[in-house]
Chain A
Amino acid sequence: MSLLKIEDLYASIGDEKILNGLSLEINAGETHAIMGPNGSGKSTLSYVLSGREDYDVSKGSVLLDSKEILDIEADERSRLGLFLAFQYPIELPGVTGMTFLRTIINSSRVAKNLPELEGIELVKLIREKAAELEISQDMLKRFVNVGFSGGEKKRFEILQMALLDPKIAVLDETDSGLDVDALRIVGKGVTNLKSKDRGMLVITHYQRLLDHIIPDFVHIMVKGKIIESGGPDLAKLVEKEGYKSFLNGN
């Protein structure tokens, strides 16, 4: 079952054309990886998918679970089941982790016509998921991402993903800024969230994350479109030979 279908997507920011005819389809239960050199448009893809304002889409379509989402606002896309783990998570001074998580959990539940969670049930759910990602209770009392290390920020992103239970999860360079231990925890956390009802899109520059989150399909993205697709071996090839050969091909 197709969960995400991107067809011939063209997007630009200001005068700069970044996505140039990108197409991709992710079915339920699949994990896809997109790799590409700097400037290939990887982050732009994740922002355009999640609905950030500054980008202009001139052509193409994106179907989330068969529903066109390009003309839908960011918050609605999330409620429809799309999750983006930011490469650079934003700080929210004054908003505690607990408050933030409670708000987003209940927003999602209301959208699914489920009753809101409160009190002990809510705290229990959050603590359980937090523990799996080695996030302390203390961290939840602090303001969201304020003073968090790179690893703490990424783990908090994955915690949100676990609590929101999305249909499609887009992970934007989740490994950037992570040390070996953090990478292991994040990798485990994401792998645990793989399911037959969920599709994942892992966007990365380096191969090492893909040792922890093993993809079913690997795509190479250069200058805003996918130029080659294959299995996990393709990633190993990139690691060995870099992006040079792919760039020359274009």
Chain B
Amino acid sequence: MEINSPPSNEVLDFCNSFKKSFKEHGWPNSKIETWKMTPLHKFIKDTSSLKHNSNYLIPNNKNKFINNIDINNLEFLNSKYFQKNEMSRVILAHISNAFEILVPKNTSKKETIDIKSSIDAGIWSSSLIIIKVPENVECNLALEFSLSSSSLCTPLIAIDVGKESNLSFGLSVINNSKSLNASNFVSLIEGNLSENSNLEMVLTQQGVTLSRSDININLNQNYSNYDLIGVYFGREKQHQDITTCVNHLAENTSSNQIIRGILDDSSVGVYQGGVKVAPNAQKTDGRQMSRALLLSNLAESNSKPELEIFADDVSCAHGATIGELDKDQFFYLLSRGVSHSMARELLIKAYLNEVVEEIQNDYLSDKLEKAIDFWLSEFKMKEVA
């Protein structure tokens, strides 16, 4: 079932008011600290020829949860994050689609909503998506963006998780054509969590020329929890960027971010992860671990795991490693008669599968496993060629 919800006239008017600001400031430039490592102008050149369109498909027919966005439900755009972020005006000034996903209250059953968006060549899809999970609800949501070459996709997503609720959210960015040319993805995502709520997010980025996910999560109330598994795969000249910020704003909140990157050929990976703990956010537990695996001499990895701590009774740690496949492990496999290419494949798969183990939600871990297998099959084909 297809949903094609262009914004209502009122919402469109509101969004058009950003056109002026966009004309003045344009796309975020690399002089801005958070864009330094991802120079957009190198990838997104001329957007004037792109047509504006969006279509979304709901394969499992859960469209009863999808609604148009009412003009009165846009206060979330006044958040500090959306106000300050230079991408907001870009996305809003070119909006082609707007809808809201609203899971009904107090559903005893776990809902699973699957949404796919295919962006054809020559298309710029700019969407405003609100995801509202009310109190006492458990929900699985998968959102997949599949890009063709010469396409641009810029979604702005606002997530709200109500008290006592759990949202397992899988966001994946893939390419749907063999040639990997000028397919660009830049997203802004803000999540707000209420008391005793959980957000588990699995983000995979692969196959697209430029991919940047800019994620800001606010743990607003006590005992809220955020887990992120972010995996990016780079090949050829691709550029993968995952930029996150978790704000601990209440007591007893926890977050765990595990990022794994794998970079081949002359691809570039960027991870900017911030964990901020407000003065009143005592008993925060904030963790971050990022690892990047470089498979070729021309690949490049950049990490900036940041900690900003203003409360003292907290436990925060982060770790980052960058390197290549372990030589001892490699030799161990060779000494057992495993060929070079098989050993490489086994170790890369092991490296990626480690994070699959970390995912609580079966639905999401399955999706990640499939993404890993897909990338590995492409990788094997390239090795053989």
Shortest B304–chain A CB gap in Å is 26
Q: Chain A residues with Cβ under 8 A from B347's Cβ?
A: 92, 95
Chain B, interface residues (CB within 8 Å), range = 20 to 34
Provide the bound-state CA to CA distance between A189 and B335, in Å.
20
**B46 within 8 Å of A by Cβ?**
no
Given contacts A94-B351, A95-B346, A103-B342, contact A79 B331 (CB under 8 A): no
Provide the bound-state CA to CA distance between A99 and B346, in Å.
9
Q: How many contacting A-B pairs (Cβ < 8 A)? A: 72
Shortest A166–chain B CB gap in Å is 9
Provide the bound-state CA to CA distance between A11 and B350, in Å.
34
Binds B, one of A48-56, A115-123, A238-246: A48-56
Q: Chain B residues with Cβ under 8 A from A100's Cβ?
A: 346
Max chain A Cβ within 10 angstroms of own Cβ: one of B338, B340, B352: B338
Provide the bound-state CA to CA distance between A161 and B75, in Å.
66
Given contacts A90-B329, A93-B354, A94-B354, contact A74 B349 (CB under 8 A): no
Mark out the residues of chain A between 62 and 105 whose CB falls within 8 Å of any chain B CB in the assembled complex: 73-75, 77-79, 84, 86, 89-95, 99-100, 103-104
Given contacts A75-B343, A103-B342, A104-B338, contact A95 B332 (CB under 8 A): no
Q: Chain A residues with Cβ under 8 A from B328's Cβ?
A: 90
Instruction: Tell me which of B329, B340, B351 contacts A75 (CB under 8 A).
Output: B340
Instruction: Tell me which of B334, B340, B342 contacts A78 (CB under 8 A).
Output: B334
Q: Chain B residues with Cβ under 8 A from A51's Cβ?
A: 334-335
- Check B350–A95 contact: CB distance below 8 A: yes
Shortest B342–chain A CB gap in Å is 7
Name which residue of chain B comes closest to A109, CB basis.
Answer: B337
Instruction: Tell me which of B329, B337, B343 contacts A111 (CB under 8 A).
Output: B337
Provide the bound-state CA to CA distance between A245 and B152, in Å.
79
- Check B337–A94 contact: CB distance below 8 A: no
Main secondary structure, interface of B, reads: helix
Chain B proximity mask over A30-69: 1 for CB below 8 Å, otherwise 0: 0000000000000000000011110000000000000000
Q: Chain B residues with Cβ under 8 A from A143's Cβ?
A: 350
Provide the bound-state CA to CA distance between A107 and B351, in Å.
21
Name which residue of chain B comes closest to A143, CB basis.
Answer: B350
- Check B329–A107 contact: CB distance below 8 A: no
Provide the bound-state CA to CA distance between A100 and B350, in Å.
11
Q: Chain A residues with Cβ under 8 A from B340's Cβ?
A: 73, 75
Q: Chain A residues with Cβ under 8 A from B109's Cβ?
A: none
- Check A78–B336 contact: CB distance below 8 A: yes
Given contacts A75-B337, A104-B337, contact A86 B350 (CB under 8 A): no
* 22 sampled A-B residue pairs with Cβ under 8 A: A50-B335, A51-B334, A73-B340, A74-B334, A75-B333, A75-B339, A77-B335, A78-B334, A78-B335, A79-B337, A92-B329, A92-B333, A94-B352, A94-B353, A94-B354, A95-B347, A103-B342, A107-B337, A107-B338, A111-B337, A143-B350, A160-B336
Write the residues of chain B forming the contact surface with A, with a CB cutoff of 8 angstroms: 327-329, 331-340, 342-343, 346-347, 349-354
Given contacts A90-B328, A107-B337, 17 further A-B contacts (CB under 8 A): A53-B331, A74-B335, A75-B333, A75-B335, A75-B336, A79-B337, A86-B332, A86-B335, A89-B332, A90-B329, A92-B329, A92-B350, A93-B354, A94-B350, A94-B353, A103-B338, A164-B337
